[in-house]
Amino acid sequence: MNGDAEPIPFVAASAEEAVAQIRARLGPDAVVLRVRPLKAPGLARLWQKPMIEVVACRPEPPPPPAPPPAAPSPSISEALAGFRQELDEIKQQVELGESGWRVGPLLQKCGLLPLYAKQVVDTLKSAHGENPPPTLAAEVALARAHLAKSWRAPLPCEPHSLHVLVGPAASGKTATLCKWLTQTALVDGRLARVWRLDGATANTAEPLGVYCDILGVPNDRAWNPETRAIAEDIGFIDLPGVDWRHLSAVQELAAQLLQYGSPRLHLVLNGAYDISVLLGQVRAFSALAIDDLIITHLDEEPNWGKIWNLALGAGYPIRFFSSGPNIPGDFAGATAEKILNRQFPRSLP
């Protein structure tokens, strides 16, 4: 183990200065292990500003991935259901290819399911006629305009609002909260507070508390039932992931959320998963009063066009796109243009 792989203390006057030192020495992937305030000795504490000590190190190389478990053999009913779905998709693909509009198959190649690609083409045919424009570029321009018009913007975050991030395990909820907190506290200058709470399982996201200490954001491990109207400008609640395949787990989460009043609920989804899994997760969590979606791990997904299946079929607006594990990392408001600019090639015939 080299020196930089061992814990290294950094002393700074502020969180921003500490982060700059850590990045300069250890790079953007450094892991923060501990944060503590440093008081000046003796009477000097009366005029000297308190310092903070942040202990960080380079991350250990990840272990080799374990071989995936063998998939269970599907039952006869599951096999028949999958076969029917394949037949439906083939039928829709044939109908799109025979429609005369070439943009339908292109939309599917970009990630749209046949159902939503057909909806787009049907809308274009209804508005512009059965005969498509003379060039594919013109068809794409019409499809882009229709998709952009179909985009739903999320509601703004009001002052003194409480936000709860929910979702399956490994969706990136805690990392998303840290990124959103960075934007809120350092960029927007809003007063924030964080609650890291247990659910049906313990919340083991210790780095969240460390990161709050770095930013100087109050963070609690217990919820006070009287804390329904938060004093801060914005509050965040971090909860453990829920096994979305079990209805009872989602119901337990719904019962727990009642004690927080009427918070804004944001469903965090791993955008690198197959779209059938993502739509299944949306259906599972639809029993909750979800406000919008946050799509993460987009650095692992080259085909952003599949996000349209969520925008058109999930019934919720999308608030943020997040890429990469680094904090603050690539984290920005979700827009139709971000998808469209990556979905279509720059030049078409």
Q: Give the pLDDT confidence of 216-265 residue by residue, as tens digits.
A: 999 999 998 776 678 889 999 999 999 999 999 999 999 999 999 889 99
CB proximity list for 211: less than 8 A, separation 6 or greater: 32, 178, 181, 327
Residues 147, 116 contacting (CB under 8 angstroms): no
Q: Where do we find the tokens 């975050």?
A: 157
Reply yes or no on whether the pLDDT at 310 is more than 80. yes
Parallel/antiparallel/unpaired status of strands 318-323 and 290-296? parallel
**pLDDT on residue 320:** 96
**pLDDT on residue 210:** 87
Q: Which tens digit of pLDDT belongs to each residue from 279-307?
A: 999 999 999 999 999 999 999 999 999 99
Torsions phi, psi of 142, nearest 5?
-65, -40
* 3 state SS of 321: strand
- Residues paired with 296 in a beta bridge: 270
Instruction: Tell which phi-psi region holds residue 242, choosing left (phi > 0), alpha (psi between -120 and 50) or beta.
Output: beta
Reply yes or no on whether the pLDDT at 96 is more than 90. no
Residues 124, 103 contacting (CB under 8 angstroms): yes
Reply yes or no on whether the pLDDT at 76 is more than 70. no
Q: Which residue has the higher pLDDT, 10 or 285?
A: 285
Nearest to 18 by CA among 50, 42, 48, 61: 50
Reply yes or no on whether the pLDDT at 63 is more than 70. no
Reply yes or no on whether the pLDDT at 115 is more than 90. yes
- Helix, strand and coil content of the chain, in percent to the nearest 5, comes to 45, 20, 40
Reply yes or no on whether the pLDDT at 199 is more than 80. yes
105/277 Cα distance (integer angstroms)? 22
Indicate the pTM of the whole model.
Answer: 0.73
**pLDDT on residue 225:** 75
* 3 state SS of 318: strand
Reply yes or no on whether the pLDDT at 8 is more than 60. yes
Q: Which tens digit of pLDDT belongs to each residue from 123-141?
A: 999 999 999 999 999 999 9
Nearest to 15 by CA among 45, 40, 35: 35
Give the mean model confidence (pLDDT) for residues 97-121.
88
Q: Which residue has the higher pLDDT, 31 or 294?
A: 294
- Measured CA to CA in angstroms, residue 164 lies from 254, 260, 268 at distances of 12, 9, 10
Residues of the chain with pLDDT > 70, as a percent, come to 79
